[in-house]
């Protein structure tokens, strides 16, 4: 049993844990007052003699999503940084400003630690409303429309994610085997023609036709959830969930070191609930990328998701694969033979002069029907036109 630390509701320890919780909230981590209270209780139980134990205890009670763990650890190290932490943590739980060069931080962490964010730690509803309204002035809206998702602050990222859910995406349609009555068609519709003839005294005034009924292509979405795709993956999942809500058929998989089926998660009506369920389902978030092994699992377990060679495949990745290039080429060849079109959605196209020189990127470029940029709102709005163009291409 650890030595009691006294009343955690008073003193610098409680104040700094509360301030740390607010910093997490500014970084986009959902931390409420109950989690902060649990963190203070956890600090009493584990003590403050070892920083690693103290940090692990706070992480257990303050982090509920896998994608937030990296943000928590980086922000914890920056917030509770003191060279004599073992002896003075209880007395001085404040960030250290010793003049050292500031380390490179995630945009969410840098935004949470910025001086301006300290004053806005707990805005009321009216202040928050004014802030969001100000962010959507004409010039600001134009800037956010062209801003790279990975360069946004935490507040900007949350706003852009909401805007992305309103971007429409028209899934391409093809003529199905089913027919319907129409003025044009290769076959006559005799039943409808005869019914129309009863109105003209038995004369065949108009020959009705059978037209093939248009049908949306089935969608198969493969989303890279490796570390380099962290911010893009969450935002694109939110975009695709909202934009394809009425799709006839959609199958969604996440891949990092292995394949995760997100199709049941995507059946939820609420996008926020879907993101929480997806975070709980993905256990290799922010790890490496092994697309070849993931596609091998797709072929072995889910080959029936590819409907009769008509499926449109959207593969979202930066192509930084760590697996074997030969195995990746073999699996991509199988996927290409069993789908209608394979589109590679690559956020690295934000760089001018980008060339797929990495092994995985070179293999993807060889098999993909088209490579499309998806690093900002403007490119998401253009995605539907890109889908239509690739369907027309021979």
Helices (H) and strands (E) in the chain, counts: 19, 9
Backbone φ and ψ for 220, nearest 5 degrees, come out as: -125, 115
Tens digit of pLDDT for each residue in 118-147?
A: 444 444 444 444 344 444 556 777 888 899
Rounded mean pLDDT, 144-168: 90
Tens digit of pLDDT for each residue in 77-91?
A: 888 774 343 334 334
Tens digit of pLDDT for each residue in 278-335?
A: 999 999 887 789 999 999 999 999 999 998 788 999 999 999 998 889 999 999 999 9
| Alpha carbon distance 369, 53 (integer Å) | 51
Q: What is the pLDDT of residue 14?
A: 82
Pair of tokens at residue 297 = 């699992």
Tokens 């949306």 belong to 216
**What ranges do the domains of the chain cover?**
11-89, 178-215, 217-392
Half-sphere exposure of residue 279: CA atoms within 13 angstroms, side-chain side: 19
CATH of domain 217-392: 3.40.50.410
Residue 335: name the closest of 313, 359, 360 by CA: 313
User: Residue 213: pLDDT band by 50, 70, 90 thresholds?
Assistant: confident
| Alpha carbon distance 292, 175 (integer Å) | 33
Tens digit of pLDDT for each residue in 93-123?
A: 334 444 444 455 566 666 665 655 544 444 4
């Amino acid at each position: 049993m650890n030595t009691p630390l006294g009343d955690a509701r008073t003193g610098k320890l409680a104040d700094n844990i509360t301030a740390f919780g607010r910093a997490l909230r500014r970084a986009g981590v959902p931390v409420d007052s109950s989690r902060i209270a649990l963190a203070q209780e956890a600090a009493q139980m584990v003590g403050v003699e070892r920083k690693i134990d103290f940090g692990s205890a706070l992480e257990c009670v303050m982090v509920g999503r896998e994608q937030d763990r990296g943000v928590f650890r980086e922000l914890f190290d920056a917030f509770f940084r003191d060279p004599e932490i073992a002896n003075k943590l209880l007395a001085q739980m404040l960030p250290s400003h010793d003049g050292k060069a500031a380390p490179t931080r995630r945009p969410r962490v840098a935004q949470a630690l910025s001086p301006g964010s300290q004053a806005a730690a707990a805005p009321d509803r009216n202040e928050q409303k004014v802030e969001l309204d100000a962010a959507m002035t004409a010039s600001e809206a134009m800037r956010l429309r062209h801003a790279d998702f990975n360069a946004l602050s935490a507040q900007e990222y949350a706003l852009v994610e909401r805007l992305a859910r309103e971007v429409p995406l028209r899934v391409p349609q093809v003529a199905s085997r089913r027919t319907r009555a129409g003025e044009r068609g290769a076959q006559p519709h005799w039943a409808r023609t005869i019914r129309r003839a009863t109105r003209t005294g038995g004369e065949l005034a108009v020959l009705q036709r059978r037209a093939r009924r248009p049908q949306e292509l089935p969608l198969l979405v493969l989303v890279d959830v490796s570390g380099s795709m962290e911010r893009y993956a969450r935002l694109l999942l939110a975009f695709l969930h909202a934009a394809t809500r009425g799709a006839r058929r959609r199958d969604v998989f996440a891949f990092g070191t292995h394949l995760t089926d997100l199709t049941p998660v995507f059946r939820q009506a609420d996008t926020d609930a879907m993101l929480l369920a997806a975070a709980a389902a993905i256990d290799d978030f922010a790890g490496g990328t092994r697309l070849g092994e993931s596609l091998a699992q797709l072929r072995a377990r889910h080959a029936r998701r590819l409907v009769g060679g008509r499926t449109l495949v959207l593969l979202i990745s930066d192509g930084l694969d760590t697996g074997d290039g030969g195995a990746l080429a073999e699996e991509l060849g199988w996927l290409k033979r069993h789908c209608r079109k394979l589109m590679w959605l690559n956020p690295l196209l934000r760089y001018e002069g980008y060339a797929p020189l990495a092994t995985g990127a070179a293999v993807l470029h060889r098999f993909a029907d088209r490579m499309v940029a998806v690093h900002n709102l403007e490119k998401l709005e253009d995605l539907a036109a890109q889908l239509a163009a690739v369907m027309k291409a021979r």
